[in-house]
Amino acid sequence: MTGLLAALTLQAGYNATLVTLGAALLGLAAGATGTFLFLRKRALVADAVAHATLPGVGLAFLAMVALGGDGRSLPGLLIGSAVTAGLGLLVMEWIARRTRLAEDAAIGAVLGSFFGLGVVLLTVIQTMSAGRQAGLEGFLLGSTAGMLFQDGLVIAAGGTAAVLATWLLRRPMTLVAFDPGYAAALGYDVRRIDLAMMGLVMAVTVIGLKVVGLILIVAMLIIPTVTARFWTQRAGRVVWIAGAIGGLSGYLGAAISASAPALPTGPIIVLMAAGAFVLSLFFAPVRGVLASALRHRRFQARVHRRQGLLALARHDPIREPFTLRLLRREGLIRPDGVATDRGRAQAARVLREERRWAEARSLHQDTGLTGRYDGLTPIEEVFTPDEIAEIDRRLGRPFAVPGGV
């Protein structure tokens, strides 16, 4: 526990601190970049790209060993993974454009074959004397244990660059995700912007290999974004909220992982983000499950109230227990079901509203305004005072509550 506290407050040593900050920056970059991936509806492409990094890791290791090097140098491995990930992306693009296969088929084909090749290469490397200690399997689920200072630096620098590039391209990427036809008409090169977006995703994937791992990196691109969607309706804010959620998840996850080195880092970071998602799902205002349940209850109460008052005005019996309870609670009827003075007054108002609406609908048959008649919207919100005066004039006499309610 003290280990965790030390890691959270960045007191767990120089390396652990750098790794934790690197993971936070990576989460920020993944959340921000992933927003555009999500809005462009290409999350699965990113998953395939992530799986296509594995053969690159294996090949880079083999190449570095063959050249007499260490083989474990992180920059070398990342360059190798970027090469095969880029290749996988181009193959998917090519299949989707040049053949009759749909994009999902291309995703499946690339993900499966590249990942398969990667696993074979990794198995071969395990049999080599230089490979046994390489820890390449850490790239699958992420492992910050034994990370070097330079590794943390690479991740932090890459994350910063990805965040800056996302900020720079935010407007074209938003436009292309929302309305690619309009973007093209404005003169934006839609294909190049899409490629730039996938390039950013690839960069985040590659620098996230060591921390999150290739299997779960897509979760860090998507979960923060769908979480942020619960909190705002504007793409510009989704980007930064998602970045904040991603960054916080990376920070907490890496800190926990530093204090418990036996656990894989990636899943812990992803679980942090998933926790934020679950909290938002239930408790976000407006869009959360709880808020919408409350809203639905309020709506039901409004309907019952309106129907109850109309029934009072028309001397119809009220049988719904919920309606009776509601009217009684608001003091509109007495416990024996007879309307109070206030109940009669409100019933008269509701009846007048109904008659006004009926008149309005015959007056304005084609204006679209009458389409807003839902039995609940006050007429003053739809028509102007002079229009309502005209409606009242046509209705003729002033209203009196039908006697003896």
Binding site for another protein (CB under 8 A): 39, 168-169, 171-172, 174-175, 177-179, 181-182, 184-187, 229, 232-236, 238, 366-369, 371
Q: What span, in angstroms and rounded, lies between the C-alpha atoms of 121 and 61?
A: 10
Closer to another protein by Cβ: residue 75 or 236? 236
The residue (of 210 and 229) whose beta carbon lies closer to another protein is 229
32 contact partners, CB below 8 Å, separation of at least 6: 162, 163, 166, 167, 239, 240, 242, 243, 246
State the nearest-atom distance from the C-beta of 362 to another protein, in Å.
Answer: 16
The amino acid sitting at 206 is: V
Residue 292 to residue 327: CA distance in whole angstroms: 24
Tokens (6 digits) for 44? 């699965």
User: Quick one: 68 or 368, whose CB is closer to another protein?
Assistant: 368
Say what the alpha-carbon torsion angle 289, 290, 292, 295 is, to the nearest 10 degrees: 170
Q: How far is the CB of 327 from another protein (least distance, A)?
A: 31
Query: Which of 41, 297 has the CB closer to another protein?
Result: 41
State the minimum distance, in angstroms, from the CB of residue 28 to another protein: 19
Minimum CB distance to another protein smaller for 336 or for 366 = 366
With beta carbons less than 8 A apart as the criterion, state whether 29 and 264 touch: no
Smallest gap from Cβ 177 to another protein, in A, equals 7
**Residue found by looking up tokens 């526990």 in the block:** 1
CB of 160 to another protein, least distance (A): 18
Structure tokens at 6: 């030390």
Least Å distance between CB 72 and another protein? 39
- Rounded CA-CA distance 266/155 in Å is 14
Question: Smaller CB distance to another protein: residue 187 or 403?
Answer: 187
Report in angstroms how near the CB of residue 182 gets to another protein at its nearest.
Answer: 6
> Phi/psi of residue 339, each to 5°?
-70, 140
Q: What does DSSP assign to residue 399?
A: P
C-beta closer to another protein: residue 77 or 235? 235
Report, in angstroms and rounded to the nearest whole number, the Rg of the chain calculated over CA atoms: 31
Q: What angle do CA 320, 323, 326 make, to 5 degrees?
A: 150
